[in-house]
Amino acid sequence: MTSLVMSDAAVAYANLVEVAAAEESCGLSVRVVPGAPEESGLWRRVRPAALDGGDMCAAKMPLGSMGLEAAEAQLVYDWIAAGAPE
């Protein structure tokens, strides 16, 4: 299992893209699937709770929040959709 260390951009990238989640959540087992936000655990964790259709299914990140603010979340979505380039 790979700890989700995000101490700097290179370390975060290495621990996120095509890396297995610590445990499955929301039916997803990979942190970032390039090109597929909806299959990426990271997106499910940080997208605004309002987009969850009433089924949050996993703790929102940052922990204790309701997900990222919409514009910030969109950046994450667009990055994954673009193939999660390094």
Residues that bind ligand HEM (CB under 6 A): 4, 21-22, 25, 31, 41-42, 45-46, 58-59, 61-63
Cβ neighbours of residue 60 closer than 8 Å, sequence gap 6 or more: 45, 46, 49, 66, 67
Residue 62 falls in which region: left (phi positive, over 0), alpha (psi -120 to 50) or beta: beta
In whole angstroms, what is the distance from residue 5 CA to residue 30 CA? 15
The nearest distance, CB 36 to ligand HEM, in angstroms, is 15
The nearest distance, CB 17 to ligand HEM, in angstroms, is 12
The nearest distance, CB 69 to ligand HEM, in angstroms, is 11
Nearer to ligand HEM, 53 or 63 (CB): 63
